[in-house]
């Protein structure tokens, strides 16, 4: 084994250990949502942003708060409302009379982890202020650009668009989220655990950090170094091409979507202690990464087809490489 190979394996094993500590900390207060926690952490280390859509009361905000409490990093929260202004997100320059100058009052967007609660209750103009920061990792205030720190992870929650007082996010803005997921209701066992845990005290408020900013950035760096072999690159390209030909899809996977799936697959591989991607990494993440990016034809919408069904059909029909192909050096 070469020194480089040994170093890579040790770094990946260290990544998995830190990931497990973070996962277990969150799981102490979020019961029965192991898959959602996994996707949340993959999204974090893949340098993406997460959109959680579901009906009120199923734990969207609790999941986001549990992550924020588990990392020793600045975090902010924005409760989106119809009267929220863009400056309520980014901040504003305020005239300091005594010093004869403007002072910047930074908004909650200047945080490592930002919870954007009920993002689809604000106007499109206000939504855009946050989504611009997500895309460019900077904000512009009175013509001056201010870079955001690293990590910068937005966890946005939204209610289904059928609910009164909501504004649907445009497709171009949905594309800024690496993943979109739904929590669903807990099963009976998880709901009983929740009732027991929350009987007396707000458990989330008692969570202690298990990672700091430097460790999170180390996880991000480790995920970037995960190898994607040539056959896996071909598999990603084949999925993209098939999505664009699919009869139910008006718009298939964009190049950005293909890159997003690769980035997420790298992060998933690293969380499992591997320094290479396998076909299972891609298949496991295809639906949360791609479903909100594939637009259906009008006929498909009338037939009540879903983008998630299209993704599952792609996975069932596009030939996948052998799991051993992922270990090839390319």
pLDDT confidence of residue 63:
86
Task: Supply the pTM of this predicted model.
Answer: 0.88
Asked whether residue 205 falls in the same domain as residue 58, the answer is yes
DSSP letter at 297 equals P
> How distant, in Å, are the alpha carbons of 71, 242, 250, 288 from that of 245?
43, 5, 9, 20
Asked whether residue 209 falls in the same domain as residue 313, the answer is no
Our count of domains for the chain comes to: 2
Asked whether residue 241 falls in the same domain as residue 186, the answer is no
pLDDT confidence of residue 37:
93
Asked whether residue 241 falls in the same domain as residue 198, the answer is no
Q: Does any domain span residue 133?
A: yes
* Sign of the CA dihedral with 31 first, then 37, 119, and 185 last: negative
Q: What is the pLDDT of residues 18-45, one digit of tens each?
A: 889 999 999 888 878 889 999 999 999 9
Q: Does any domain span residue 238?
A: yes
pLDDT confidence of residue 165:
62
Asked whether residue 106 falls in the same domain as residue 194, the answer is yes
Tokens encoding 3: 């020194």
Asked whether residue 116 falls in the same domain as residue 258, the answer is no
pLDDT confidence of residue 3:
46
Asked whether residue 276 falls in the same domain as residue 219, the answer is no
Supply the CATH number for residue 38's domain. 3.40.50.300
pLDDT confidence of residue 5:
54
Structure-derived torsion over alpha carbons of residues 113, 119, 124, 127, reported in degrees to the nearest 10: -10
pLDDT confidence of residue 162:
58
Asked whether residue 218 falls in the same domain as residue 120, the answer is yes
Asked whether residue 130 falls in the same domain as residue 256, the answer is no
Secondary structure of 164-224 in the HEC alphabet?
CCCCCCCHHHHCCCCEEECCCCCCHHHHHHHHHHCCCCCHHHHCCCCEEHHHHHHHHHHHH
Q: Does any domain span residue 288?
A: yes
If we measure between CA atoms, which residue out of 63, 31, 69 comes closest to residue 50? 63
Residue 299 is part of which domain span? Answer: 226-330
Asked whether residue 205 falls in the same domain as residue 237, the answer is no
Residues of the chain scoring pLDDT < 70: 1-12, 58, 161-165, 194, 196-202, 325-326, 328-330
Asked whether residue 213 falls in the same domain as residue 91, the answer is yes
């Amino acid at each position: 084994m070469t020194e480089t190979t040994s170093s890579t394996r040790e770094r990946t094993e260290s990544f998995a250990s830190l990931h497990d500590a973070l996962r277990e900390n969150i799981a102490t207060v979020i019961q029965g949502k192991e898959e959602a926690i996994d996707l949340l952490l993959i999204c974090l280390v893949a340098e993406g942003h997460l959109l959680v859509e579901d009906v009120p009361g199923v734990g969207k905000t609790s999941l986001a708060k549990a992550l924020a409490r588990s990392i020793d990093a600045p975090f902010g929260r924005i409760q989106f409302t119809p009267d929220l202004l863009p400056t309520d997100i980014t901040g504003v320059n305020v005239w300091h009379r005594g010093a004869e100058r403007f002072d910047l009052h930074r908004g909650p967007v200047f945080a490592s982890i930002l919870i954007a609660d009920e993002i689809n209750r604000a106007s499109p103009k206000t939504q855009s202020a946050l989504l611009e920061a997500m895309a460019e990792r900077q904000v512009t205030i009175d013509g001056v650009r201010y870079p955001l720190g690293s990590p910068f992870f937005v966890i946005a929650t939204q209610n289904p668009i059928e609910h009164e007082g909501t504004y649907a996010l445009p497709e171009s803005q949905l594309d800024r989220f690496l993943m979109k997921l739904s929590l669903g209701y807990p099963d009976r066992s998880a709901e009983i655990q929740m009732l027991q845990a929350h009987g007396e005290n707000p458990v989330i408020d008692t969570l202690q950090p298990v990672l700091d900013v430097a460790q999170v950035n180390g996880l991000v760096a480790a995920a970037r170094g995960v190898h994607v072999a040539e056959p896996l690159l071909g598999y990603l390209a084949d999925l993209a091409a098939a999505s664009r030909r699919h009869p139910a899809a008006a718009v298939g996977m964009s190049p950005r979507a293909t890159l997003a799936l690769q980035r997420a697959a790298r992060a998933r591989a690293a969380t499992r202690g591997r320094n290479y991607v396998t076909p299972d990494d891609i298949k496991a993440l295809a639906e949360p990464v791609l479903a909100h990016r594939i637009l259906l034809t009008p006929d498909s919408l009338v037939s009540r087809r879903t983008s998630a069904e299209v993704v599952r059909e792609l996975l069932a029909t596009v030939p996948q490489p052998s799991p051993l192909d992922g270990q090839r050096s390319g």
